[in-house]
Structure 1
Amino acid sequence: MRPDIADGEFSCNILGPLEIIAAGKEIAVAGARQQTLLTLLLLDVGKTITGARLIDGIWGGRAPQTAEVQLRICVSRLRRVLAEGGLPDVISTESQGYRLTVPEDRVDVRRFTALVDRAARAEAAGDDAEAVRLLRSALGLWRGPAAEGLTGPLVRAAAARLDEERMSALERCFGLELRLGRHHRIIPELMASAAEHPFRETLQSQLMRALYHAGRQADALNVYRDVKRRFAEELGLDPSQRLRALEQRILEQRPELGGHKTVLPQDAYIRLAALQRENASLRAERKQIATSWCVSCGGATSASAPEHTGT
């Protein structure tokens, strides 16, 4: 008997640790092999997965000679666990492998993808607020890194793809909320996300924009300085041209940034430009003096060397 989905009695979740809920209770799937097997079936729910692929996913290229037998045993045990938990007959044996048959709207991965697609259509239609609502619903499905705790290579590759899709959805959501003028609301979440993912330049630029729009120009520039230092120290790189250009636009309070803008007198900008030129000139002069001093010191040492040698 198939589970009654009309009453919303179960859900299968891998956006976080593997979690199967039926009739309000979690079905405990024990053992890494059974968990990996079920996760692989969920990732391709409704499709037949070959035994060879499942073996590769469970043993990662180090399959024992008895792998096919062990796979059949693993499938049998998983069927029994799911049936005892209220989900009978959801894994079928096909000519080439196995298939998990549950409605896609009961699998969190499929719900996430569907919501993100709907958000894209809403954005294309010009309804940014609805797009944000849908993206927030999609992001709310996540309970941690995808397939957290499982180490099989096929699962990890799929999890990395899903984690990237999550971050892309989050960045799209932040971008839309900035466009809607919700910078004050999202600053705390943006700060946490930017700290958690310090090398994602989109998050850093969104945080800079949000702070600037909130009237916190100095904080926005400090974000850039921290990014520049971190990139130099840990990657040996400079931030992208896009991020450097954003810093310059914030410094100049360019009109295209929108949001908050502190209006300075025109003569203030003239004095600032003069100071920048003066600083550049002083840096060049200091470098020239330092170079001349080093040459002079080297020459004096060479000249005195024979005198010391003769004593």
Structure 2
Amino acid sequence: MKYRILGPLDVSIRGHQLVLKGVRGPTFLASLLVNVGRVVSIERIVSTLWSDEPPATAWHQVLNLASGMRRALERAGAPGTLSRTQGGYRISVDPETIDVVQFDTLAVTARRLVADGRPDAAVAAFDEALVLWRGPALSGLRGSLVDSAAQTIEERRRVVIEERAEAQLTLGRYEEVINSARALLTEEPYRQRAAGLLMRALHHCGRTPEALEVYGEVRSRLVDQLGLEPGADLRSVHKSVLEPVKSETVRSSSRITVRVPAELPADASGFVGRSDLLAEVGTGSALIVGQAGVGKTALAVHWGHLHRERFPDGQLYVDLRGYHRDVPVSPCEALARFLRALGVDDGSVPAGVESATALYRSLLSDRRILVVLDNAGSAEQVRPLLPSGTGARALITSRMTLSGLVAREGVRLTFLDPLSHEESQRLLTGLVGAERIRADPDAARQLVELCGRLPLALRIAAANLIGDPALRLGDHVLALRSNRLAALAIDGDPEATLEYAFTLSYQRLTEPQRHLFRRLALLARADFTVGAVSAMTGEPELVTARLLQQLQRSNLIERRGTGSFRIHDLMRAFAHSKLANRDVVASGLTRDDPRSLTVSLP
């Protein structure tokens, strides 16, 4: 008799297959075989055969199955194999007639050969054990006993594959290890021992960048999906692979020339205020968040210039174009730029993001350097670019509240509001000159408020005044009152407009978010509640609250309190410009109605 469960269940006598009739007969026999020599209670058999509610006749059906199975085995020449005991059944066969027992015996032999220092013989024994497999254990069968046993047996197969790979590494059979370890990782993406074996084999083959990519991919899966860091063994493999790379890269003049990058853009002229935020940003890696035009980049760059002496090893800068008409900068592209700026030649820049990240962080590990990641569109775009050394600092700017960076990377979150009226006056005076402001101080005050105290709007207005010395502040105020968005633009530079800056945020919204944003133009006040917006749109408050929260995370509106929000005056004007005709019609108004752009709500 031969009983095979390393694949579909197969029973044969002297080379002839025993046909097991019925749906539950094979599962019944498999439940006994995986517990060979032990009694399996009828209760466990019933729960295996009927995973849901068993029928009232379940026990009787088990008795019939057992009786039929016993007769079949006796006719095949195996009398007394299946026996009834108190409360259950037991199958008594020579364990060596079951393929999984043969597998375990060969695995024990192979391990003994490894311990004796005979890896070649051990690999042969492991191979002999794995040849017994014809597919997934007990494939095609279902039930609690069978499923549990199959999982346990499959795990034993994976362990044997890993042990064989260890022996193959000793023999220098790296390609074989690469193939088997990759197959294991396809089955179980979180399998750290397989990942370590694959990394070691790739490293020995001279494919170290690929080995580092494997570590990065496995680590990302563990952290993102399980919230776990790699274990000590895998971290040790990573270190053993990375250290030679770091040492060779840093010390070999043919691959790297140590450079001190100075990539910060020019400091914003006439920068004013923000003293409290400048102090807050200086306490650690920070994420500066705010609406378009509020001065996020100016704050980050100004802080960098103020504290250049704290970073003698340089300053790196990249515009990630998270909000831009062009394609965003990928992490791999940004890493390549940084590595070149740090002195790595083109031929030595790794192609994969994980290996590039590993090299980038190793180069920064002992350096005091500032990294400015401007205009980020997502946390995923930023994570590979964050330095890990204690002397390195990152400043990130974004229109989105990238809470994942705060939660996982411990980045400090800093919200940026418009300037105060006094700061706005100082900025405008510094740009256009005190004499022009003194000529019409009332118009200057009005201009500041019409610009919403946004630095970008103030700088655009100042540029128009500087470009036309004959233009009086009062005339510019009149133009702003007529159409603020149109007046806050610079002729010949389509990107130097407030509307362009706002549009980049608007385009990132989903259609439901855009629709609600446009409808905010119908409100009579800049301050509003969830209930007011819900009453206007006819949507449930829960749906409305969720959409408003999404707009707030995109910094198109700001939260004022529980269930209360506010939209900036200029952002509200932008919502007016985007208001589609269908939104007005849906509100019950017409374009000729004097209320067509405002709806007063309690």
The question of a shared fold, defined as TM-score above 0.5 by the shorter chain, is answered with yes
Instruction: Note if contact 2:250-2:256 (Cα within 8 Å) is conserved in structure 1.
Output: no
Q: Which one of 79, 91, 94 corresponds to residue 100 of structure 1? A: 91
Q: Which one of 275, 300, 303 corresponds to residue 419 of structure 2? A: 300
Size of the aligned set, in residue pairs, is: 294
Distance 1:272 1:81 in 2: 79
Query: What corresponds to 1:231 in structure 2?
Result: 222
Query: What corresponds to 2:33 in structure 1?
Result: 42
Distance 1:97 1:198 in 2: 39
Matches within 5 A, 1:1-311: 10-60=1-51, 62-85=53-76, 87-253=78-244, 267=253, 271=257, 275=342, 276-277=363-364, 281-283=369-371, 287-288=394-395, 290=397, 298-300=417-419, 307-308=449-450
The alignment partner of 1:300 has SS state of: coil
Cα deviations across residues 99-128 of structure 1 (Å, max 9, x unaligned)?
A: 222211110121122222222322233333
Are the structure 2 counterparts of residues 288 and 123 from structure 1 closer, same or farther at C-alpha, using a change threshold of 3 Å?
A: closer
Distance 1:50 1:241 in 2: 42
The alignment partner of 2:185 has SS state of: helix
The alignment partner of 2:55 has SS state of: coil
Distance 2:232 2:206 in 1: 24
Q: Which amino acid aligns with 1:75?
A: A
Q: Which amino acid aligns with 1:15?
A: L
Structure 1 range deviating more: 239-248 or 202-211: 239-248
| CA positional deviation for 1:17 | 1.7
Instruction: Note if contact 1:194-1:207 (Cα within 8 Å) is conserved in structure 2.
Output: no
| CA positional deviation for 1:56 | 3.5
- TM-score, normalised via structure 1 length: 0.78
Structure 1 range deviating more: 174-183 or 239-248: 239-248
**Higher RCO (CA-CA < 8 Å; seq separation 6+):** 1
Instruction: Note if contact 1:32-1:150 (Cα within 8 Å) is conserved in structure 2.
Output: no
Greater helix share, structure number: 1
Instruction: Note if contact 2:249-2:255 (Cα within 8 Å) is conserved in structure 1.
Output: no
Q: Which runs of 5+ in 2 are unaligned?
A: 260-312, 314-341, 343-362, 375-393, 399-412, 425-445, 453-476, 482-602
Are the structure 2 counterparts of residues 119 and 271 from structure 1 closer, same or farther at C-alpha, using a change threshold of 3 Å?
A: same
The alignment partner of 1:298 has SS state of: coil
Distance 1:118 1:196 in 2: 26
Are the structure 2 counterparts of residues 272 and 190 from structure 1 closer, same or farther at C-alpha, using a change threshold of 3 Å?
A: farther
Distance 1:67 1:264 in 2: 72
| CA positional deviation for 1:204 | 0.9
Q: Which amino acid aligns with 1:215?
A: G
Q: Which amino acid aligns with 2:193?
A: T
| CA positional deviation for 1:134 | 2.0
- Flag the structure with larger Rg: 2
The alignment partner of 2:60 has SS state of: helix
The alignment partner of 1:166 has SS state of: helix
The alignment partner of 1:31 has SS state of: coil
Distance 1:201 1:285 in 2: 32
Distance 1:185 1:120 in 2: 19
| CA positional deviation for 1:84 | 4.7
Q: Which runs of 5+ in 1 are unaligned?
A: 1-9, 255-260
Computed over aligned residues only, the root mean square deviation of the Cα atoms, in angstroms, reads 3.6
| CA positional deviation for 1:156 | 1.2
- TM-score, normalised via structure 2 length: 0.43
Are the structure 2 counterparts of residues 283 and 130 from structure 1 closer, same or farther at C-alpha, using a change threshold of 3 Å?
A: same
Q: Which amino acid aligns with 2:419?
A: A
Instruction: Note if contact 2:177-2:197 (Cα within 8 Å) is conserved in structure 1.
Output: no
